[in-house]
Amino acid sequence: MSTLLKVHGSQNSFFILDQTLLEQPLTDAELVKLTTTLTSPKTGILGGADGILVVNHSAKPDTLGKMRVINADGSEASMCGNGLRTVARYLAQKHGQDQFKVETLQADLLVAKKADFASGVPTFGVEISPVHFDKKYLPFDNLGADKIVGKTLAVFDPDEKINFSILAVPNPHLIGFVPDIKRAKSQLATLGQQLNSPNPYFSDGVNINFAQVLGKNKLFVQTYERGVGFTNACGTGMSATSLAFYLTQPENCDFEQDITVYNPGGMVKTHLKRQAEQFSIELIGNATFTHEIKVTEDDLHANNVDENNCQITETGEQDAYLKFIEQLN
């Protein structure tokens, strides 16, 4: 029997598939099929998820494994901040180590166990890096500049009230600061659909984050994710938004202090770092395992995973998580 884990970071939910434990790793075509089936609220188990996190062997020195991120629509992303925290916990437990690197598509990233956010809420910190602003890294086009930090963009917001920034961390993010996040949700949905369908601005699509400033070093962020749609939270999105916050509103953001970022699924902390002119961000938050799913390897290869042919065991961790977010209010 093989084991899948259902996990979440700020209720951005995933299945972890450790391919190193399989006799034969899934091919990319098999992975895409399995992801689209498992993540769908209709065909997936346990209500679906936002993606699959694949754990592979890494040949790099100092790393305990390699993470690949497959979005719900089968596309592959270069990074996933909430997902990396859960993979960090998985590898930490598997290898009995508290601090190490994980290979991702574009960088080997430092991860570390942190003090639990609350009793029964395991917490990990992960490096979000490299950070780029230049349009060639996103990529983006037809926006009148090579770099957009704190600008209005009439093509996305005809009233020119939203202050936009564009960052790759290294997956692409468009960030807009809005006065009222609830009122802006339909505008976020429209923009999310437009920029993740064929469009003249973001040829590879983009994750879109709308943020409301709640106070000094305090934000609320809602994300429309590329390859998924609205999610409860996006770790790279909250990290990129934290940096855009500092760069565009330094009077509201102390670089030395953590930033508290609330989201529809909970809360994370971010910490900005700078070495010469290169920024990076540490993202700290829960790494919750909600279910263990036993399934045969043949069924994984055949994309034959449903609630009738696997054994599902609840871990009990979600109760502690819900208790934690209840007291956030």
Ligand X SMILES: N[C@@H](CCC[C@H](N)C(=O)O)C(=O)O
Residues that bind ligand X (CB under 6 A): 12, 69, 71, 77, 80-83, 171, 207, 225-228, 231, 234-236
Residue 303: strand, helix, or coil: coil
Find the shortest distance in angstroms from Cβ 77 to ligand X: 3
7 phi, psi to nearest 5 deg: -140, 165
Q: Are the CB atoms for 302 and 22 separated by under 8 Å?
A: no
**Bridge partners (DSSP) listed for residue 231:** 223
Find the shortest distance in angstroms from Cβ 233 to ligand X: 7
Tokens 């430092």 identify what position? 110
Q: Are strands 266-275 and 2-9 parallel, antiparallel or unpaired?
A: unpaired
Comparison of 82 and 212: residue with beta carbon closer to ligand X = 82
Distance (Å, rounded) from C-alpha 265 to C-alpha 221? 10
Find the shortest distance in angstroms from Cβ 237 to ligand X: 6
Find the shortest distance in angstroms from Cβ 83 to ligand X: 6
Residue 241: closest CA among 105, 138, 150: 150
Comparison of 119 and 197: residue with beta carbon closer to ligand X = 197
Comparison of 66 and 226: residue with beta carbon closer to ligand X = 226
Comparison of 123 and 171: residue with beta carbon closer to ligand X = 171
Find the shortest distance in angstroms from Cβ 12 to ligand X: 5
What one-character-per-residue DSSP string does 315-326 give?
A: -SHHHHHHHHHH
11 phi, psi to nearest 5 deg: 60, 20
Residue 22: closest CA among 326, 300, 302: 300
Find the shortest distance in angstroms from Cβ 46 to ligand X: 18
What one-character-per-residue DSSP string does 28-53 give?
A: HHHHHHHHHHHH-TTTSGGG--SEEE
Comparison of 164 and 224: residue with beta carbon closer to ligand X = 224
Residue 245: closest CA among 274, 226, 221: 221
Question: And the tokens for 141?
Answer: 């086009």
Q: Are the CB atoms for 163 and 151 separated by under 8 Å?
A: yes
Comparison of 2 and 235: residue with beta carbon closer to ligand X = 235
Q: Which residues are catalytic?
A: 80, 234
Residue 98: closest CA among 108, 106, 107, 88: 88
Burial class, 132, CB count within 10 angstroms (exposed 0-12 / middle 13-18 / buried 19+): middle
Residues flagged as binding site for substrate: 12, 71, 81-82, 171, 207, 225-226, 235-236
Residue 79: closest CA among 311, 294, 238: 238
